[in-house]
Amino acid sequence: MPRVCLATFLMVTSFLPTINHFHMLATNALADDDIFTLDIVSRIHTDHDSIAKASSDFGHIVEAIPNGVFHPTSPADIVALIRLSISQPKPFTVVPRGQGHSARGQALAPGGIVIDMRSMGHGDHGYRANLSSDQLWVDVGGEQLWIDVLHATLEHGLAPRIWTDYLHITIGGTLSNGGIGGQAFRLGPQISNVHELDVVTGMGEMITCSPDKNTDLFFAALGGLGQFGVITRARIALEPAPKRVLWVRIAYTDVESFTRDQELLISNPSSGCGFDYIEGQVQLNRTLTEGRRSSSFFSASELDQLAKLVLDTGSTAIYYIEGAMYYNDDTASSVNQKLERLLEELNFVPGFAFVRDVSYVEFLDRVGREERKLRAAGAWDVPHPWLNLFVPRSRILNFDAGVFKGILQDAKPAGLVLMYPMNRDRWDDRMTTTTPGGEDVFYAVGLLRSAVAAGDLERLERENAAVLAFCDREGVGCRQYLPHHASRDGWRRHFGEKWGRLAALKRRYDPRGILAPGQGIFSAAGGDEAGSDSL
């Protein structure tokens, strides 16, 4: 071994004394590309703080300790890391991590390497974005936060077409899942608003893909839970950005009127005469009488008014339609009349329409403000046993009766419950994300609850299990969003008729099974060929 290489090798391995695996990687690879390999290994951090941070995610439910955390400065570094892995007789697993906002291990790599995607936003490369104002798209790195993309595009009077409720997460993270929010009824999820991707596959190949080029990888990666590659760039569709928003919440005491009005509001998504954003919430009675007496929307007196409505009507729950009308200076004079006409068509409880006039950014970043409150109260970095479901429209009333008026009727207040409809034709079935079939409308139901006290996690997990058991027993036909399944058979059932195609794509783009092992969807690295047991 040349003296300079030996010195570099000793320097690199000196900070990895407890991980013989990396010592062997560097030694085996030196004969072919010594300095290059040592440079990649030198970017793998194994200090206690790095390992601890990468061992858990937002859910704080599962823990998986990696052997190291990789800090790339460019997509080429990710290519090199993956090629280093598959060059070994027993490859190490690799998973990208943005903000780690997954709940059940999608961003974890037990015994493998976690790629800290956010490190590509630092150093010489900085913020990676390229905007085309005439063609209405922006190219952004997969590591970028949606909140940063918002501010960058607003400088040109533009914004992405579809948003999740929380913007302090990465482009690659949401596109690996789907990306849903209040605009999805008219524009589809975020994955339906992407023109092009750069993806680093499990073969260490950087592939540019789109609906017209390398289409199988494009549709597999969108909603693909990280199984087919690492998204390093996305071309996101834009539209002219409004300046202001009328932010509305209207209350219901019966689920039939609530769902009927929601479905009316999404029935003509291209008309331009209704809300630009539609979501819904369910507040169980104990949430209003015993929950936190603060809100990013309601004032204290309005919360008291809602609590009195619960007591006066004996309702098990209060339902809200949350809507938003966007406007600019040229439409400011007419937007209030437009809202009044729309509200006249709806059957909410008289006197229970609440309106706020806010900036576009203030509306979009509303959950970011709530996060700051929760952090200050010590209620953010706690376990989040979230359960997200897509429920067919024909079964939503059965779900309400069995879950909100049954299983969760006496549940303690702990977080947020979402319930709102989306149009099925705004989703592309070629993408990996699964939705209920056979109906033109389905509901997103999110039990976004937190374990803030002793015993909460176990109780919430039992309630989630009871909800899933109810859905199975009653044949509700729901699908999980941000899915978690404990067995390979569970994943087969989840993907349904897509399973065989996805298994074949896994064998093509990640045959060694090194990508995103934490969810247990396919065979792990070092075993049989990924997907070989899938057909």
414, 452 contact by CB (below 8 A): yes
From the candidates 34, 116, 143, 165, which is the catalytic residue?
165
**Which strand (E) or helix (H) includes residue 240?**
strand 230-240
Place of tokens 């956010």: 118
Long-range contacts of 50-54 (CB under 8 A, 24+ apart): 53/100, 54/97, 54/100, 54/108, 54/109, 54/114, 54/116
DSSP 8-class letter at 393: G
Q: Are 363 and 147 in contact (CB under 8 A)?
A: no
| 496 φ/ψ angles, rounded to the nearest 5 degrees | 60, -130
To the query of whether residue 279 is one of the catalytic residues in this protein, the response is yes
DSSP H/E element including 255: helix 255-265
Helix (H) or strand (E) holding 53: helix 48-53
- By CB atoms closer than 10 A (0-12, 13-18, 19+), residue 343 is middle
Closest CA to 437 of 426, 446, 424: 424
Q: Which amino acid is at 132?
A: S
Q: Are 236 and 197 in contact (CB under 8 A)?
A: no
Closest CA to 174 of 182, 164, 187, 184: 164
In three-state form (DSSP H/G/I as H, E/B as E, the rest C), the secondary structure along 412-466 is CCCCEEEEEEEEHHHCCCCCCCCCCCCCCEEEEEEEECCCCCCCHHHHHHHHHHH
The pair of structure tokens assigned to 401 is 């009766």
Q: Going by DSSP bridges, is the β-strand pair 137-141/230-240 parallel, antiparallel, or unpaired?
A: antiparallel
CA–CA separation, 136 and 111 (whole Å): 42
Return the SS3 of 367: helix
Calpha distance 23→17 (Å, rounded):
8
277 with 187: CB under 8 angstroms? no
In terms of phi and psi (left: phi > 0; alpha: psi -120 to 50; beta: otherwise), the region of 485 is beta
Query: If DSSP states are collapsed to H, E and C, what string results for 452-467?
Result: CCCCHHHHHHHHHHHH
Catalytic residue among 45, 71, 101, 484: 101
Catalytic residue, from 77, 143, 276, 279: name it.
279
Give the SS3 label for residue 247: strand
| CA–CA dist 513, 264 (Å, integer) | 45
In the residue annotation, 101 being an active-site residue is answered as yes
- Measured distance CA(402)–CA(387) in Å, rounded: 16
Is 208 within 8 Å of 129 (Cβ atoms)?
A: no
> Which residues are catalytic, by number?
101, 165, 279
